[in-house]
Structure 1
Amino acid sequence: MGRKIRLSILDQSQIRRGSNAREAILESVDLVKHADKLGYTRYWVSEHHNFTLLAGSTPEVLIAHLAGETERIRLGSGGIMLPNHSALKVAENFRMLETIFPGRIDLGIGRAPGGDRYTAHVLNPSNEFDERAFIQQIKDLRGFLNDSNEPGTVHEKIKAIPQAPTVPELWMLSSSGGGSQLASYFGTALSFAQFINPFGGPEAVERYRTNFKPSASLSEPYAQVGIFAFCSEDEQKVRRWQIEMDARILNIEKGLTTPPPSYEEILQTEYTAAEQDRILYNRDRMICGTPQQMKQKLQDLADRYDVDEIMVATICDQHEDRLKSFELLAGIEW
């Protein structure tokens, strides 16, 4: 008897080939309503800048809209890229969200810029790209969320408004050991992105648990893992999705910002030996299969990380296929 796995969704607001940003957001609304009814635990949206294939640049705005369209599911950021922002403003944005939707808001934070370094500098000209500055931002953010009055700090005189009986659930996003160390030190929940880095995750999560320091918001360590995934009863669709994802990720790694090639174009592509090696490496960032196959693959992933929650990101060219994939995953009996 395997563990009972809770499923969540990471939505990167993909602009499909031939589509546009408004359609992408409308599809996010459609998907979050679907997820709410299907029983998914949480629904996070990402922060990306200067990348025309993704529409999600302002998680705090999109979260408000999606939360207003749903009844039960938790909404959050996957994540807010903290160096792009003022810690006080992030605290105010998410305290406002928590005030409007009490008990339903997650604040996932990360260090990556969500785009190129030049764009990050334009977003926040005072960004020092320095780990010490990032750590100070986390301290400040946590203090604002918890109404700290610590002497000698900014929190003596400044409070994050609005104040409310509850606060957003704080998460650290990580694709390396560094992020997991910060999560353990600050006593936050941890989300490890295997869809970014396919190696070292289970070890990073284990170190997080071992070194975890309880905080005012979290008494025991809690972790989840994120993965690209697709499920279909049609094995040909599964195979097609994997081939398309191979090409999509490879193009992103090359720095290409043009729409990904069509399936027919991919089939005509001859990859170099180096590209073939990279495709095999990236295969560990994703899982796909029929419902029965996905049950075993998700179980294996959860067992490797020793977690009970998996966050799924699904990018594909047909919105209906994405909806159906999440429906099939939600129907898996644990």
Structure 2
Amino acid sequence: MDTKIKLSVLDQSPIRKGVTAEQAVQETIALAKYTDQLGFTRFWVSEHHNTGSLAGSTPEVLIAYLASQTTNIRIGSGGVMMPNHSTLKVAENFRMLEALAPGRVDLGMGRAPGTDRITASILNPSNHFAEQDFMEQLADLRNYFHDTADPGTIQQKIRAIPQVQTVPAMWLLSSSGQSGLFAAHFGMGFSFAHFINPVGGAQAVQLYKDRFQPSQDLAQPEANMAIFVFCSEDEEKVMQHKAVMDHRFIQFEKGLGIQPYVYDDIKDTEYTLQEQDRMRYNRQRVVAGNPTMVKNRLSQLAESYGVDEIIAVTIAEDFDDRLQSYKLLADLFELK
């Protein structure tokens, strides 16, 4: 099965220690070009707000530029956080992107705000975080893309501009099973964020497949999973990467945010027994090791999830190590 696995990228434009936001965005651009050449399937960029160590706040803006700099790789959002946005504006943004790069755009959508509740309330003061609101957004979005609003509704009087012939591939992103049910209901793709929640993903994907209802956009269920990956032939770099990721997760869970640490900053940190338990749990969110280990583990995960595509999220303290990790993955899975 391993040679048939497709690989993709989720990039959050991480701001490494000593690097500016401008440089972080340039690294995202360089990574998109590089993984396009390597044969990766898709390149998704994220939406985070009020997070100083991640520069990716506006995927719809970044996608437009990335599409102009790449040739074959699909470019998309991982994802647009729908509660932050007007549905019509999302439809128009992505119709414009389809006009710029027809047939190469993915609209990955999330239900979470991608930030804290206070920031979310500023982004969209009318956001009630209600499940029904999200369902209505998905229904309205599909109608805007296909100009199929029900007669007599307000939406029937509104067209999403520009009127283009193609529709972006629609995906729902989730770290629980709930959005998988929404994806099945609307006939959309489903991506499980194993890098956020390492438990229950395989069951969520199976439930999505069992409940899937074909749509005019997608005849068969399409699913993938996303996980933190770091591949290196240097055992010391792998060890240091694991230590930094351990620390990053613990700090985040304490409410201290995501900081651009390097190994020397955290190497002498002592952890409580409770923190050590959390570290063991969180290590399930990461695959880090030498090429043989990484290939075996990713192949096992793809098989357990029943998917043929893995999205790799790679944050490294050195940009060259990030590039090299993706290069090794491309070689391991014989991407074309």
Contact 2:16 2:260 in 1 (8 A): no
Contact 2:53 2:260 in 1 (8 A): no
Please report how far the alpha carbon of residue 288 of structure 1 lies from its aligned counterpart in structure 2 after TM superposition: 1.1
Contact 2:5 2:310 in 1 (8 A): yes
Partner of 2:242: 242
Partner of 1:87: 87
- CA deviation map 1:74-128 (0-9, x unaligned): 0000000000000000000000001110011000001111000010010001111
How much identity, in percent, do the aligned residues show? 55
Q: Secondary structure at the match of 2:128?
A: coil
Give 2:252's aligned amino acid: I
Q: Tell me the distance in 2 between the aligned counterparts of 1:284 and 1:318.
A: 23
Matched, 1:65 2:68: no
Partner of 1:117: 117
Greater Cα offset, 156-165 or 37-46? 156-165
Partner of 1:289: 289
Give 1:9's aligned amino acid: V
Contact 2:15 2:54 in 1 (8 A): yes
Q: Tell me the distance in 2 between the aligned counterparts of 1:22 and 1:261.
A: 18
Q: Which runs of 4+ in 1 moved over 3 A?
A: none
Q: Tell me the distance in 1 between the aligned counterparts of 2:5 and 2:140.
A: 34
Q: Tell me the distance in 2 between the aligned counterparts of 1:54 and 1:258.
A: 8
Matched, 1:148 2:164: no
Change (3 A) 1:6 1:304: same
Please report how far the alpha carbon of residue 316 of structure 1 lies from its aligned counterpart in structure 2 after TM superposition: 1.2
Supply the RMSD in Å over aligned alpha carbons: 1.2
Contact 1:247 1:260 in 2 (8 A): no
Partner of 1:200: 200
Contact 1:251 1:260 in 2 (8 A): no
- CA deviation map 1:300-327 (0-9, x unaligned): 0100101000000001110010000001
Q: Tell me the distance in 2 between the aligned counterparts of 1:253 and 1:298.
A: 26
- CA deviation map 1:138-166 (0-9, x unaligned): 11111111211422333311111111111
Partner of 1:166: 166
Q: Tell me the distance in 2 between the aligned counterparts of 1:328 and 1:67.
A: 24
Please report how far the alpha carbon of residue 56 of structure 1 lies from its aligned counterpart in structure 2 after TM superposition: 0.6
Partner of 2:220: 220
- What is the TM-score with the length of structure 1 in the denominator? 0.98
Give 2:21's aligned amino acid: A
Contact 1:147 1:155 in 2 (8 A): no
- CA deviation map 1:262-300 (0-9, x unaligned): 312322111001110111110011101111211111100
Q: Secondary structure at the match of 1:331?
A: helix
Partner of 2:56: 56
Change (3 A) 1:333 1:201: closer
Contact 1:43 1:76 in 2 (8 A): yes
Change (3 A) 1:24 1:2: closer
Please report how far the alpha carbon of residue 251 of structure 1 lies from its aligned counterpart in structure 2 after TM superposition: 1.2
Contact 1:174 1:180 in 2 (8 A): yes
Q: Tell me the distance in 2 between the aligned counterparts of 1:285 and 1:333.
A: 21
Change (3 A) 1:307 1:258: closer
Please report how far the alpha carbon of residue 333 of structure 1 lies from its aligned counterpart in structure 2 after TM superposition: 3.9
Contact 2:140 2:149 in 1 (8 A): no
Change (3 A) 1:149 1:36: same
Q: Secondary structure at the match of 1:60?
A: helix
Q: Tell me the distance in 2 between the aligned counterparts of 1:260 and 1:75.
A: 26
Q: Secondary structure at the match of 1:303?
A: helix
Q: Tell me the distance in 1 between the aligned counterparts of 2:15 and 2:3.
A: 35
Q: How does 1:270-309 map to 2 (within 5 A)?
A: 270-309=270-309
Matched, 1:269 2:288: no
Please report how far the alpha carbon of residue 2 of structure 1 lies from its aligned counterpart in structure 2 after TM superposition: 4.2
Q: Tell me the distance in 2 between the aligned counterparts of 1:21 and 1:90.
A: 25
Structure 2: where are the runs of 5+ without partners?
A: none
Partner of 2:255: 255
Give 2:131's aligned amino acid: E
